Structure 1
Amino acid sequence: MGVAYSVGEVDHLYTFFVQWSPEMYTKSNKKHREPHYIIREKHQKHYLVVERNKAAVGKIISGPVKPTAKNWEIITVKEPKRRLSLSSEDSELEEPEYRKEVEDDLIVLDDHSQLLDDDYHLKMLAAHMPARTQGCPWQLVYSTAVHGSSLKTLYRNMVGLDSPVLLVIKDMHNKVFGAFSSDPFRVSTSCYGTGETFLFSFNPKFQAYRWSGENSYFVSGDLESLQIGGGGGGFGLWLDADLYHGSSFSCPTFRNASLSTLEDFIVQDLEVWTVHN
């Protein structure tokens, strides 16, 4: 038995089609028709029936289907976005090859890192960076090994910066974790940042914790501590004024697990990188 979409869901899908194929779904088009959507059991794999040579025109279905017209084809729901992202030369690539090409990209560091010492670290982080940072070299703006352990120095080194930063920490258990912040760290009276901000951990496998949308407690800081994520009685990542003691709790902002082995940890080394404009 089919399950009908709610009005809100239909509006959402219609907006999707307008974004991907405005020439087919605009008010100025005299041939404009309200699209029809059919979806069956939610656990089945969904497909999109589209007109050939169009990115996303048609209806969502699940299960086998036999369109009668020869100018229609069945593709996965993810396929339209992939097609639009590829150039005409790359349009013949299969999706697994395309994904592999993206995953092979690495973050380019202008300086040596004592914490990101593995291509695996750089590859995993690169796959989660926002598009505006792709292809940009990263420079070291603060390191406890170079500048000592001081939150004040960290803030001072970021004065005048207007670019995202990557905070990387290694604790006394040799666990590597940290945060990507859409804005450089600074003393503030309220939270700042955007939904690009996320937490990550190599503990032991890579895990990224993106914005949940539940609140906007991205980053805040004063002379006593730096906090990233919050709202549930604990911070996703917290560091003291000496950048020596830290803690990591599950928080609503990112719905993360503790980034370290223990919720309270001691910092062994810390680095902050920024995009080199």
Structure 2
Amino acid sequence: QLAPHLPPRVTGHPWILLYCTARDGFSLRSMYRSMDKLSSPVLLAVRETSGQTFGAFSSTAIRLSRCFYGTGETFLFSFAPELKVFKWTGSNTFFMKGDADLLVLGGGRGKFGLWLDGDLYHGGSDPCETFGNESLAPHEQFFIRDVEVWALA
């Protein structure tokens, strides 16, 4: 369902599972390490404990950073219950920022479109200026059941 929303340069390419909490454990640091030498786009998928699935497409690998990075190809998505895609609004460039304790996607006025804590146990989603999204999860904060990161093969 996401394929029509992906940039043309990545369509038709196979995807491989780089990181998943079921196999690799719950650790943001481990997730960063799985993409250490990666330069290709990635797809981040999160399932919270009530079963809702949502995430982000990033034009670059997710990494530790002191400032926001990414491009206008980055977007958020949610399956609630049908697919909703939230593309860059052009209002700011707060695409993604990650440190050891927090990964955030989208921002503005102190709100993040999607955030995950360092243990990949808690997360949250608020409407944000970067993507003009609604909350991706049923509640502003949620408990994480699974995280997967997919990359181009």
TM range (shorter): over 0.9
* Shift in Å, 1:132: 0.8
Equivalent residue, structure 1, for 2:39:
162
* Shift in Å, 1:233: 1.6
Equivalent residue, structure 2, for 1:221:
98
1:204 aligns with 2:81: yes
Deviating above 3 A after TM superposition, structure 1's stretches of 4 or more consecutive aligned residues are none
TM-score normalised to structure 2 length: 0.99
1:269 aligns with 2:146: yes
Q: Deviations over 1:9-54 (max 9, x none)?
A: xxxxxxxxxxxxxxxxxxxxxxxxxxxxxxxxxxxxxxxxxxxxxx
1:152 aligns with 2:29: yes
Q: Determine which of 3, 16, 19 is the counterpart of 1:142.
A: 19
Q: Secondary structure at the match of 2:2?
A: helix
Equivalent residue, structure 1, for 2:61:
184
Equivalent residue, structure 1, for 2:117:
240
TM-score normalised to structure 1 length: 0.55
1:230 aligns with 2:83: no
The residue type paired with residue 132 of structure 1 is R
The residue type paired with residue 134 of structure 1 is T
Q: Deviations over 1:132-167 (max 9, x none)?
A: 101100000000000000000001110110000000
**What percentage of residue pairs aligned between the two structures are identical?**
52
Q: Determine which of 172, 175, 178 is the counterpart of 2:52.
A: 175
Q: Secondary structure at the match of 1:262?
A: coil
The residue type paired with residue 52 of structure 2 is K
* Shift in Å, 1:205: 1.2
Equivalent residue, structure 1, for 2:129:
252
Higher strand fraction (1 or 2): 2
Q: Deviations over 1:196-241 (max 9, x none)?
A: 0000000111100000000000010000110000012210000000
Higher helix fraction (1 or 2): 1
Q: State the distance in 2 between where 1:271 and 1:232 align.
A: 28
Structure 2 unmatched runs, 5+: none
Q: State the distance in 2 between where 1:203 and 1:159 align.
A: 32
Larger radius of gyration: 1
Q: State the distance in 2 between where 1:228 and 1:158 align.
A: 17
Describe how 1:79-158 pairs up with structure 2 within 5 A: 124-158=1-35
Q: State the distance in 2 between where 1:128 and 1:192 align.
A: 20
Indicate the RMSD between aligned Cα atoms, in angstroms: 0.5
Q: Secondary structure at the match of 2:33?
A: helix
The residue type paired with residue 65 of structure 2 is S
Higher relative CO (Cα under 8 Å, sequence separation at least 6) belongs to 2
